[in-house]
Amino acid sequence: MVRAVGQELRRAAPTTDSRISDLVGNTPLLRIHLFEGLAPTLAVYAKAEFMNPGGSVKDRAALGMIRDAVRTGRLTHGRTILDATSGNTGVAYAMLGAAFGYRVKLVVPGNVGAERRRLMLAYGAELVFSDPQEGSDGAIRLCRRICEQEQERYFYPDQYNNPANWRAHYETTGREIWEQTGGEVTHFLAGLGTGGTFVGTARRLKQLNPEIVCVSLEPDDPLHGLEGLKHMAAAIVPGIYDPGVADIHLLGPTDEAYDLVRQLARREGILVGHSTGLALWGIGRLIQDGLREGVAVMISPDGGDRYLSSGLYGGP
């Protein structure tokens, strides 16, 4: 049986020499009630990744890539961490760079949200802005050019192609979901950005129980409004993305995703970002297609407070 909300997997008591990186992971599962009228015997949970210290699921990948690079000698204190990001991974790099004493330089689209921009700067990161019309792909291309010009100066994690990204989720997120549900999870859902969260978590869950249905989601339009997610057919496809891991792949609409996050905030007091809305839409789609019972766990990558200036929740 799934443990009570808030009791799923408690962090060990912090010691006197803890640092912020020790708080990454072990996020709780939150019960979602939006769909109980349609499927009363289906238990839906959100993995509350916005409760990581940097505020998003990307804390896990950033920490995994940094630790791997330090272990292999690719990252030393003489090098600056440089990567392209749409925001959340950049916040994680900036936070961890400050904690570990590394300089951080981030290439972000010029239209990155005000909240994430300010967070990266608050941690002391240097920002380089790419053409906003080119989205995350434009940031990737500019980042590669910068790195090629001064390769000895930078450590380029390349989150879109670094296997330490998905391994972080294989080692932590997948294991946590299994333990938190007592092995009863039947469905797993996550949106696609780098692909690391979905691929790593799904691989671990499939290893533990091949019968778990793993569902990947992406926006249904290249000009979508779902921050952090990729429309794969119109984007540079990440090297770590493996479409064969998914049992079901869904393309969902921006407007309905927005509506669902607003419902979640106003009915259940859970404030989440755009990408959680797509996962919620995915739950609704599975129910529409006949899912009525089981334990469905979806990733909630970040909180809605990062998107207040975007108008996601209304207001001026």
Beta bridge pairs of residue 30 = 46
SS3 39: coil
Contact 250, 284 (CB under 8 A): no
User: Among residues 56, 216, 275, 300, which one is catalytic?
Assistant: 275
Return d(Cα 9, Cα 178) in angstroms, integer. 11
Annotation says 275 is catalytic: yes
**DSSP state for residue 303 in the 8-state scheme:** B
Contact 127, 197 (CB under 8 A): no
Annotation says 105 is catalytic: no
Nearest of 124, 196, 190, 133 to residue 164 by alpha carbon = 196
Return d(Cα 143, Cα 20) in angstroms, integer. 27
- The alpha carbon of 22 is separated from its chain's Cα centroid by a whole number of angstroms, namely 18
Q: Which tokens in the block code for residue 215?
A: 């569902």
CA-to-CA separations, 6 to 28, 29, 45, 289, in angstroms, rounded: 6, 7, 12, 31
User: Among residues 58, 130, 136, 230, which one is catalytic?
Assistant: 58
Return d(Cα 234, Cα 223) in angstroms, integer. 9
Compute the chain's Rg from CA coordinates.
19
Q: Which tokens in the block code for residue 286?
A: 């599975």
Active site residues: 58, 275
